[in-house]
Structure 1
Amino acid sequence: MKAAKVLLGLTVGLVSGIGASAQESGSSPQKVSVAKVQMITPANSSRYVGRVEATNSVDIVARVEGYLTERKFTEGGSVKQGDLLYVIEKDLYQASVDQSKATLEGAKATLKNAQIELERQRQLLAKGDVSQAVYDSAKATADLDQSNVDEARANLETATINLGYTNITSPIDGRISKTNLNVGNLVDSNTGALATVTSVNPIYVSFYMGEKDLIKDREAGLIGDDGATFQVGLTLADGTKYPSEGKISYVGTSVEEGSDSVELRATFDNPKNLLIPGQFVNVSVKDDTQTPMPAIPQSAIQLDAKSHFVFVVGADNKVERRDIVLGRQSGTLWEVTSGLKDGEQVVVQGLQRIRPDMTVDPVEAKS
């Protein structure tokens, strides 16, 4: 009787086991969340503190002596090359020009008479009516008068130049500082700067790159002897990004001993004068030559003793283990330097319930 009960129990258990096994084999595929491999351009950027510098700065100085009679600019305003900035009294210089003109005209008249006399003596010499000495004397007089004309012409040019210096103009486009001397002051070439014109468009931003970064970028071909290929961006003090990018226009020729860094300088367009010399800015440099590479969410990545790996769902919905090599993190994604290609599907949820060669029901994960 007891043996019959045991046999019955085993039979029931065996039937139950067969039923459970049949149910498992007939169950629907495991649902998993998947994400497609994306192609992104690797982020290769660094940040530095930079200082804005003028591309050109010129002190405005007097080149002749005299009293300032006019100031023609607004302090702090914009000026163009050739704009009149100051006027020095002209009377003495105009008088010098007039005197030089008169002297030149007198010298020309004297020379004309000497040339007429020289021609007359040449004709007489040809006839034998005068000696060679008489002709030579006439020629010497004409030559002397010619030199007097040349000297008078040079003096007139000098006087005209000095008269021109009474109008002090801007040598460059830019913004002009406040004036150091006002109308009524006596100025000359030793007075010093009357004002300073600073060129602000384009404008420079200088920053210092660490020696290690410099070596890395040189080895990558990003920095050469004549400049660099990467683009430069700026963030202003209020957190806004400067609207245009700059280009490296200078790479330092030596390493700063105190900081083990090298100076780099970028040139920016500055049409609205947002950048002011002396201003501090945040500089970011990035390499735009990088080619796109695969990237996946961090949730898809697993690690064992062998390597990093992911589960890839193929066209037949079968799971495949794929060993990968990771690059750098870019936002919420990880770059993959080896093991994946664009468009493949990797499992991001349900990883604990799957294994290689298993058929699954993939559902695209919500972004």
Structure 2
Amino acid sequence: MHQITGGIAIALVAASLTGCVTKGDSGNKENDLQSFPVLKLEKTDTVLHRHYVADIQAVRNVDVRARINGFLNKIYVDEGQQVKKGQLLFSLNDEERRAELARAKAALSSAIAEAKAASLEVDRVNILVTKKVISASELEVAQAKLAAFNARIEEARSAEFNAATQLSYTSIRAPFDGFIDRIPLKTGSFVSEGNLLTTVSDIHEVYAYFNVSETEYLEFIRSGSDARRSVSLVLADGSDYHHDGHVETVESEFEENTGSIAFRARFPNPQQVLKHGASGKVTLTNRIDSCLLLPQKAVFEMQDKNYVYVLETDNTVKMRAFEPGARISHSYLVNAGLKAGEKIVFEGVRNLREGMKISPKLMATGQVKAL
């Protein structure tokens, strides 16, 4: 009997101790909540840098082609050489063209002489008609012959001009100041009309073409800058080009397949570093006013959506999906889903769960930028 009573007493004491420990733990949970850094979202102004692959082209790049058939008589320039407008580049064999011009000149001289004789005949017949020695119809015949000879003069002049033009085509000259590209033919080659002789590139300035998505195009327009927006260029080896350019024009249509639109920027090229057909990356800078920036550390992904933990007024956290925009350094530009004044958990989001109560540690914007 005493043994049973003792056992019951021990059980009651143990239960009492257990109850005391549980009560003590409950009290400590309120005081020992896990601390998390929290950031208050604020509107800010920022600068957005976007990079685009660029196709670099000379402001003028023209194929030099033969306009007549003939043998390539001489080449006066070399590949890569700088030339001036009007400088002689190639000559074709011109003996046949010179002979044609001489024949055309002779025909013109003959037509002029015949017309002069016809004019004298008209004057003579006119005197005879006035004296009524011959009938008026004779004068009409003489005048018709003179008109025919005058027409022959015009025809001969046209033939002479055409022969002179054909002869000029045997000398091929530079259309503008520039640089010679590859010369595919050699001296003595037969050249057909339309054959490529070389290409001349004017690279004192260059165009950089790059494609921009519709969203980024609208971002560019809404930024409020003028059409001559300054841009920079990174060369193919990763080095910075020493001269800034400017956006000169935007195409009028979006490409149907890609949904992008082409921009054209112009860059000075005083040292001729940039060549036609080169590549690089254009950096386009847009100023964004009154935007929300969200640190990447605060973001986590679930099922292809982006979430953050928003701090409620009772210090519990709630998952919130949002729409991210461009990435700027270590932050996202917020397009939708969050608003200024809301507080989000800045770091340690993997240790949180929906509805969890935390001890928030508010961080200043300057502290976040320093991290």
Q: How would you bin the TM-score normalised by the shorter chain? A: 0.5 to 0.7
Gaps of 5+ in 2: 1-44, 290-310, 314-325, 331-339, 341-360, 362-371
The 5 Å alignment of 1:19-98 reads 43-98=47-102
How far apart in 2 are the matches of 1:99 and 1:83?
29
Q: Residue 238 of structure 1 aligns with which residue? A: 237
Q: Residue 206 of structure 1 aligns with which residue? A: 209
Gaps of 5+ in 1: 1-40, 292-303, 307-327, 333-337, 339-351, 353-367
The amino acid across from 2:126 in the alignment is: R
CA 1:149 to 1:329, structure 2 compared with 1: closer, same or farther past 3 Å? closer
Residues 179 and 200 of structure 2 are in contact (CA less than 8 Å); yes or no, is this contact kept in structure 1? yes
SS in 1 for 2:111: helix
How far apart in 1 are the matches of 2:257 and 2:69?
47
1:150 to 128, 149, 154: 154
Q: Residue 20 of structure 1 aligns with which residue? A: none
Q: Residue 189 of structure 1 aligns with which residue? A: 193
Q: Residue 269 of structure 1 aligns with which residue? A: 268
How far apart in 2 are the matches of 1:246 and 1:123?
79
Q: Residue 246 of structure 2 aligns with which residue? A: 247
Q: Residue 107 of structure 2 aligns with which residue? A: 103
The amino acid across from 1:178 in the alignment is: R
Residues 54 and 280 of structure 2 are in contact (CA less than 8 Å); yes or no, is this contact kept in structure 1? yes
How far apart in 2 are the matches of 1:256 and 1:105?
61
How far apart in 1 are the matches of 2:328 and 2:269?
31
| RMSD value, Cα | 3.1
SS in 1 for 2:79: coil
Residue by residue, what CA displacement relative to the aligned partner does 1:6-44 show, whole Å, maximum 9, x if unpaired? xxxxxxxxxxxxxxxxxxxxxxxxxxxxxxxxxxx9534
How far apart in 2 are the matches of 1:331 and 1:49?
20
Residues 231 and 287 of structure 1 are in contact (CA less than 8 Å); yes or no, is this contact kept in structure 2? no
The 5 Å alignment of 1:253-332 reads 253-287=252-286
Deviation at 1:206, TM superposition (A): 0.7
SS in 1 for 2:53: strand
SS in 2 for 1:232: strand
CA 1:329 to 1:117, structure 2 compared with 1: closer, same or farther past 3 Å? closer
Deviation at 1:81, TM superposition (A): 2.1
Deviation at 1:80, TM superposition (A): 2.2
How far apart in 1 are the matches of 2:254 and 2:150?
62
Residue by residue, what CA displacement relative to the aligned partner does 1:199-218 show, whole Å, maximum 9, x if unpaired? 22221101111211111222
Deviation at 1:150, TM superposition (A): 1.0
Deviation at 1:305, TM superposition (A): 8.4
Deviation at 1:77, TM superposition (A): 1.7
How far apart in 1 are the matches of 2:268 and 2:169?
33
The amino acid across from 2:84 in the alignment is: K
How far apart in 1 are the matches of 2:210 and 2:159?
51
2:221 to 170, 194, 218: 218
2:180 to 176, 181, 194: 176
Aligned residues: 260
Q: Residue 38 of structure 2 aligns with which residue? A: none
CA 1:235 to 1:199, structure 2 compared with 1: closer, same or farther past 3 Å? same
How far apart in 2 are the matches of 1:62 and 1:229?
39
How far apart in 1 are the matches of 2:77 and 2:231?
35
How far apart in 2 are the matches of 1:287 and 1:268?
19
**What TM-score comes out, normalization by structure 1 length?**
0.63
Deviation at 1:158, TM superposition (A): 0.8
Q: Residue 37 of structure 1 aligns with which residue? A: none
Q: Residue 116 of structure 1 aligns with which residue? A: 120
Residue by residue, what CA displacement relative to the aligned partner does 1:100-132 show, whole Å, maximum 9, x if unpaired? 111111111111111111112223223322211
Deviation at 1:330, TM superposition (A): 9.5
The amino acid across from 2:108 in the alignment is: L
How far apart in 1 are the matches of 2:261 and 2:156?
57
CA 1:70 to 1:175, structure 2 compared with 1: closer, same or farther past 3 Å? same
CA 1:238 to 1:175, structure 2 compared with 1: closer, same or farther past 3 Å? same
The amino acid across from 1:244 in the alignment is: H
Residues 229 and 287 of structure 1 are in contact (CA less than 8 Å); yes or no, is this contact kept in structure 2? no
Residues 248 and 266 of structure 1 are in contact (CA less than 8 Å); yes or no, is this contact kept in structure 2? yes
How far apart in 1 are the matches of 2:225 and 2:257?
25
Percentage identity across paired residues of the two chains: 29
Q: Residue 138 of structure 2 aligns with which residue? A: 134
Deviation at 1:221, TM superposition (A): 3.8
**What TM-score comes out, normalization by structure 2 length?**
0.63
SS in 2 for 1:113: helix
Residue by residue, what CA displacement relative to the aligned partner does 1:322-354 show, whole Å, maximum 9, x if unpaired? xxxxxx99999xxxxx9xxxxxxxxxxxxx9xx
